[in-house]
C-alpha cells in the first residue's frame, strides 16, 4: 500500500480502536455517529476505485474540464492538507445505514481496492490528472492520495471526539 494510504489506514484504525458496534452507532446530537462517518469514508473509497477502474477499462483518464478553475481548493486540500469544515457531502457519499460491524469490516478492503486502482491508473497514465473529483476537479494519483488522507484525518478527529464524549 502507498505510504499516504497506509498512514490513512493507521489513522482510521487508531480512531476506532476498541470501539464496539454499539459505540460506533452511538450518536451525539444530530451529527453522524462513528459508523456513519466510516460508511461515508467507505463510500468515497468505493467511488474513487470505481471511477479509476472505469478509466483503466476505457484505456484513458476520465478527466473533463479545466484544472485551473479549481486550483485554489486543490492547493488548500492536497497541498496544504487542510479540509475546510461545513461542506455538505455529495449525495453519493451520504451514509445510508449500513450496520456498524459490516462497514467496519469493509472499509479497509475498499481502501486497499482504491489504493490498487490509483496505483494501476498511475502506472498506465503517468503523472497526469486521472479523474475528476466532484469538488476539486481533475486530480493526479498523488492528489487523490493526499485528498483521501486529509479527508480521512478530518473524519478520524470527529470519531475520536465522539469516542471521548461517551
**Burial grade of 151 (CB within 10 A; 0-12, 13-18, 19 or more):** middle
Q: Over the stretch 104-147, which tens digit does the pLDDT of each residue have?
A: 999 999 999 999 999 999 999 999 999 999 999 999 999 999 99
- Residue-wise pLDDT tens digits, 12-43: 999 999 999 999 999 888 899 999 999 999 99
| pTM for the whole structure | 0.94
For domain 3-164, the question of CATH label 3.40.50 is answered with no
Rounded CA separation 165/112 (Å): 30
The answer to whether 107 and 99 are in contact (CB under 8 A) is no
Report how far residue 56's alpha carbon sits from residue 61's, in angstroms, rounded to the nearest whole number. Answer: 7
Domain boundaries, the chain: 3-164
Q: How many residues does the chain have?
A: 166
Amino acid at each position: 500500500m502507498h505510504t499516504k494510504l497506509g498512514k490513512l489506514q493507521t489513522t482510521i484504525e487508531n480512531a476506532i480502536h476498541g470501539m464496539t458496534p454499539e459505540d460506533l452507532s452511538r450518536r451525539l446530537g444530530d451529527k453522524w455517529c462513528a459508523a456513519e462517518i466510516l460508511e461515508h469514508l467507505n463510500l468515497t473509497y468505493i467511488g474513487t476505485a470505481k471511477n479509476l477502474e472505469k478509466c483503466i477499462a476505457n484505456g484513458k483518464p476520465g478527466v473533463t474540464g479545466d484544472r485551473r478553475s479549481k486550483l485554489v481548493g486543490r492547493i488548500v486540500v492536497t497541498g496544504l492538507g487542510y479540509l475546510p469544515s461545513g461542506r455538505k457531502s455529495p449525495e453519493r457519499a451520504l451514509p445510508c445505514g449500513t450496520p456498524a460491524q459490516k462497514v467496519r469490516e469493509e472499509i479497509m478492503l475498499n481502501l486497499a481496492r482504491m489504493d490498487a486502482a490509483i496505483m494501476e491508473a498511475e502506472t498506465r497514465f503517468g503523472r497526469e490528472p486521472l479523474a475528476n473529483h466532484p469538488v476539486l476537479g481533475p486530480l493526479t494519483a498523488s492528489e487523490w492520495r493526499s485528498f483521501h488522507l486529509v479527508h480521512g484525518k478530518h473524519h478520524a478527529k470527529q470519531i475520536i471526539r465522539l469516542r471521548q464524549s461517551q
